[in-house]
Amino acid sequence: MLSLVIVAGLLAFASGKPCKTQTSNIELHMSLNKNLLRSLETQEGLPNPSVHLALRLSNFHNLAKESEHLNKLKNDLHNDIQSSLSNSQSVVGLLSLYTLALKSSCYDLNTITFTAGERSETLLTHLKKQMEQEKEHIAFSHRPLTNFYQYSLGVIALCVSGIRVNHHVSNTLIKAVEHEQVNDTDTCAMAGMALQCVKDAGSHVHNAAELDTALSKIKQKLLASRRNDGHIGNEFSTGFAVQALLAMGSPVAECAASMEAIRTDARNNKYHNAMAISQVLPALQQKSYLTVKSKECLNEDDTLVLEPIDPVVVLPSQTKVTVTVEVVTSSGAAALYSVEVPKGSSLLEALELLKIKNVGFTFDKESSLWGPFLSVVNGEQARQSDRRYWHLSSDGTALGEGIIDFKIDGAQKITLKNTIY
Ligand code: B12
């Protein structure tokens, strides 16, 4: 703790900022870091490579817990990716996050292999092949099999691992930026980091001018999405946007308002999903996914300890609110249902209550790094392979969170609409 205060003091002295502000910022970063560490124990499903990456990029560590988590990734996540590869699925995003997580722990990537068909090949060879497939798919249908966010993650993972990214692969991303196919803030940020990494590696020499044009376009887009309150895009994209701006060489001062907006959100408990914390914490500590490239894992801090916390039992509220659920299928047919739920329930809890009422409403979900993703409603699946999903909105406004995080705080109409993207 003493060293923490000394570091904070020195930082404050160097930047001319009041010492109190710096200390409270560092305390906030530590508390987010502890929440991430706690999530390792409570998280259901697969170990999360994005959480691991953020823990490893942090200034503070609990090395024993991080190494235990690394082992879980190497077993459970590895097996999950292996079975997707055996089924010829495109898992470029997950494969990339796994690569970044391993690399952030300075793990020798050449020792990690997967088997497809009869052959066993390294993780990086599989990633390169998946990127080739994505590139071919884009050439043929103008879209990746997954999305440009995952395509960019693939470029980042190869590039920070010291692999020369195939010129055609990076060129495809440059063209996508040029043709306005990279638009939402998260994807712009990811593409910015990817192309910056390619630029820094010096491997894209023949199209240097096009690369620079794409990078400035991305930077302009990010800055144009900056709101008066400092957010870039929304609360959940600001972290990546800051990471990207820092990676692209913006001075920290240029990102100060956005970092403050993230800290305000964190103090207001906006980031209760571990995935959200994992995307903002590196930005607050002035790191980006590109920091992984130079990570050496030497003389790391090992002071992060989790104090036991008293379990908080949250009793369901006595106040009930009525939720109307509207289902709009792909044919446009609409059905209305209604259910009473305790105020403060999650949308998932509300849907579960509605399902057990036996009024004809059913749903199913798939797990993802962000938690449960609503995939089937009344027997109709919104398939990602058909570019469809169940879009969520409340009283006409799109939800900013998924079914587990969105809380019902009053009577409202929730619409689940099978939508094309
Ligand atoms: C691409 C994308 C989508 C695509 C995914 C399909 C595709 N193949 O392209 C589509 C359009 C379907 C989508 C839908 C939604 N999305 Co979205 N999406 C993203 C984005 C840009 C990248 C996700 C990705 O590929 N990750 C990489 C892979 C490796 O991780 P993954 O977990 O395996 O990825 C899968 C899941 O993340 C899932 N998914 C995508 N979005 C969401 C949102 C939630 C809440 C959940 C549980 C799962 C999920 O689809 C991914 C591809 O299979 C992220 C940005 C980000 N910062 O993470 C936003 C993001 C995750 N989405 C977000 C939101 C809010 C939604 C919706 C709830 C919007 C709505 N109002 O309906 C819906 C989900 C509704 C549902 N049915 O449950 C928010 C989540 C914020 C939060 N705190 O929960 C993010 C962070 C964007 C943002 N900055 O606001 N999304």
Ligand 1 centroid from CA 260, angstroms: 24
Q: What is the longest distance spanned by two Cα atoms in the chain?
A: 67
Q: How far apart are CA 96 and CA 165, in angstroms?
A: 13
By most ligand atoms within 8 Å of CB, the mutation choice from 373, 383, 407, 415 for ligand 1 is 373
Q: How far apart are CA 325 and CA 215, in angstroms?
A: 43
- Residue-wise pLDDT tens digits, 148-168: 999 999 999 999 999 999 999
- Selection from 9-18, 112-121, 274-283 with the highest mean pLDDT: 274-283
What single DSSP character describes residue 60? S
E-assigned strand segments in 69-191: 113-116, 119-122
- Residue-wise pLDDT tens digits, 349-401: 999 999 999 899 999 999 999 999 999 999 999 988 889 999 999 999 999 99
- Residue-wise pLDDT tens digits, 100-111: 999 999 999 999
Q: So where are the chain's domains? A: 18-294, 320-420
Ligand 1 centroid from CA 11, angstroms: 36
Q: What stretch of H or E contains 7?
A: helix 2-15
Q: Is residue 147 a known part of a binding site?
A: yes
Tell me, what's the pLDDT at 4? Answer: 47
Instruction: Judge whether residue 186 has pLDDT over 50.
Output: yes
Q: How far apart are CA 165 and CA 403, in angstroms?
A: 37
Tell me, what's the pLDDT at 75? Answer: 97
Kindly report the CATH class assigned to 320-420: mainly beta
For the beta sheet containing 371-377, the strands, ordered from the edge strand earlier in sequence to the opposite edge, are 363-368, 371-377, 380-381
Q: Is residue 234 a known part of a binding site?
A: yes
Ligand 1 centroid from CA 94, angstroms: 13
- Residue-wise pLDDT tens digits, 236-295: 999 999 999 999 999 999 999 999 999 999 999 999 999 999 999 999 999 999 999 999
- Residue-wise pLDDT tens digits, 297-350: 999 999 999 988 887 888 888 899 999 999 999 999 999 999 999 999 999 999
Instruction: Judge whether residue 417 has pLDDT over 50.
Output: yes
Percent of the chain with pLDDT over 90: 86
Tell me, what's the pLDDT at 17? Answer: 55
Residues touching ligand 1 (Cβ under 6 Å) are: 93-94, 97, 146-147, 149-150, 184, 186-187, 234, 236-237, 240, 273, 276, 279, 368-374, 384, 389-392, 398-403, 405, 421
Kindly report the CATH class assigned to 18-294: mainly alpha
Pick from 108, 199, 281: which is nearest to 191 by CA?
199
Q: How confident is the model at residue 20 (pLDDT cuts 50, 70, 90)?
A: low
Give 156-201 as a DSSP string.
HHHHHTTPPPPHHHHHHHHHHHHTT---SHHHHHHHHHHHHHHHHH
Q: How far apart are CA 62 and CA 38, in angstroms?
A: 11
Ligand 1 centroid from CA 370, angstroms: 8
Tell me, what's the pLDDT at 140? Answer: 94
